[in-house]
């Protein structure tokens, strides 16, 4: 079976810690900034993530978000070991939980058998990035609307991740996807 957060999610699978020695950070603050739903659609490229079992050795991660009547269809893809490896895919359904901010989603996998809440912790859509995490603070992804995130935007996003209380030295930076 080939099913994948971005994770967005973007590469955003339910994950178990993989070799993390530090304790998970305190839960992040709930999102308060509104994100326009049109900004979520399309392809999101994984720039960085906290280590997790599901994405162990995943490279070139992308999440494709497409609107449907009930929310989003999400297809997440990565390549185990190298960009040239065959793709591994995960399919999910995402529903907005908080219409006030549009920044909280419930993602369901395996036909709804497994679900997890994800939050857009911060976003700078004018720079093409967002930070996605779980409410418990264990999992986090930096996603970009472009295969490569510019150095300045990346530095700003990583600084924001640190402000949110995450250990940025624990971030993994997988090989980028080819456009």
pLDDT in tens, 97-118: 999 999 999 999 988 899 999 9
Q: What is the pTM of this model?
A: 0.85
Q: Answer yes or no: are the C-beta atoms of 164 and 157 closer than 8 Å.
A: no
pLDDT in tens, 60-93: 999 999 999 889 999 999 999 999 999 999 999 9
Write down the architecture of domain 37-170 according to CATH: Beta Barrel (2.40)
- Domain range annotation of the chain: 37-170
To which residue do tokens 């967005």 refer? 8
- 140: pLDDT strictly greater than 50: yes
């Amino acid at each position: 079976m080939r099913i994948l957060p971005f994770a967005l999610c973007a590469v955003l699978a339910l994950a178990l810690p993989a070799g993390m020695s530090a304790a998970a950070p305190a839960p992040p603050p709930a999102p308060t900034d509104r994100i326009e739903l049109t900004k979520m659609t399309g392809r999101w490229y994984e720039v960085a993530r906290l280590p997790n079992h599901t994405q162990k050795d995943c490279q070139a991660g992308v999440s494709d978000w497409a609107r449907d009547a009930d929310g989003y269809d999400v297809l997440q893809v990565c390549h185990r070991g190298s960009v040239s490896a065959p793709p591994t895919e995960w399919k999910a359904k995402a529903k907005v939980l908080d219409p006030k901010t549009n920044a909280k989603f419930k993602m369901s996998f395996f036909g709804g058998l497994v679900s997890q809440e994800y939050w857009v912790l911060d976003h700078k859509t004018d720079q093409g990035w967002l930070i996605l995490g779980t409410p418990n603070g264990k999992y986090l992804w930096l996603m970009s609307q472009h295969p490569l995130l510019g150095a300045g935007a990346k530095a700003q996003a990583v600084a924001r991740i640190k402000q949110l209380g995450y250990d940025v030295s624990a971030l993994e930076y997988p090989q980028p996807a080819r456009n």
